[in-house]
Amino acid sequence: MKPKIDVIIPAFNEENAVDKVLVDIPWDLVREVIVCNNGSTDRTAEVARANGATVQDEPQKGYGHACLKGIHYLKQKPLEEQPDIVVFLDADYSDFPEEATLLVKPILEDGADMVIGSRALGELERGSMTPQQVFGNWLATNLIKLFYNYHFTDLGPFRAIKWDKLLALDMQDKTYGWTVEMQVKAAKMKMNCCEIPVTYRKRIGKSKVSGTIKGTILAGHKILWTIFKLL
């Protein structure tokens, strides 16, 4: 039986990128794509619908808020219609959506619970990540290794996870700590996690996080706070 694989894409003012993301989705693999429109003031929702996505509106700003909206939508389905695997993917076209096929492979073939798309292990386009992003990922993943004895190389947003494992994590973070909360909780629960190299390019438009000093500082603080909070 073909596994039910759904994709959750948080999106805030990505009208110039979300169509490209959706076109490159491996639709032969994916059942449904949920674009979580996070209070956009542009045509993000309209463009997403025109390119085959289900749009869920989450006016409360925050990356985690948007992801939780997508999870809530899937939880409302009858049990037999809920997904087997969920893929998380950003709407800015920095990731290569077609690599979702590679992300789900360790789950389908090797029994992995969660697979992180690692930019550190893959190919980075020059300028696609700021020095503070690279350092922040290095610091956070080393702290996870120190405190939780789990080895990650990246907090990359492009990831796949079994639906039942995602529900077991009981995700709570509403903003910048979403990815690290997922990885720390998975480590604490001794889930079978792995990483695969992914390709990463310069995003379309300006980053709402790393593109500003305030966003970078807030994200860095929230990531570190989350790691220590969950000890």
Which residues, in sequence order, are CB contacts of 143 under 8 Å at separation 6+? Answer: 224, 227
Question: Domain holding 125: CATH number?
Answer: 3.90.550.10
Q: 147: domain range?
A: 5-229
Query: Is residue 128 exposed (0-12), middle (13-18) or buried (19+ Cβ within 10 Å)?
Result: middle
pLDDT of residue 212: 57
Count of the separate structural domains present in the chain: 1
The pTM of this model reads 0.94
Question: Residue length, the chain?
Answer: 231
The amino acid that residue 76 corresponds to is: Q
Three-state SS at 126: coil
Radius of gyration of the chain (CA): 16
Q: Is the distance from CB of 19 to CB of 50 less than 8 angstroms?
A: yes
- Averaged pLDDT in 10-residue chunks for the chain of 231 residues: 96 98 98 98 98 98 97 98 98 98 98 98 94 90 95 97 98 94 97 98 77 66 86 77
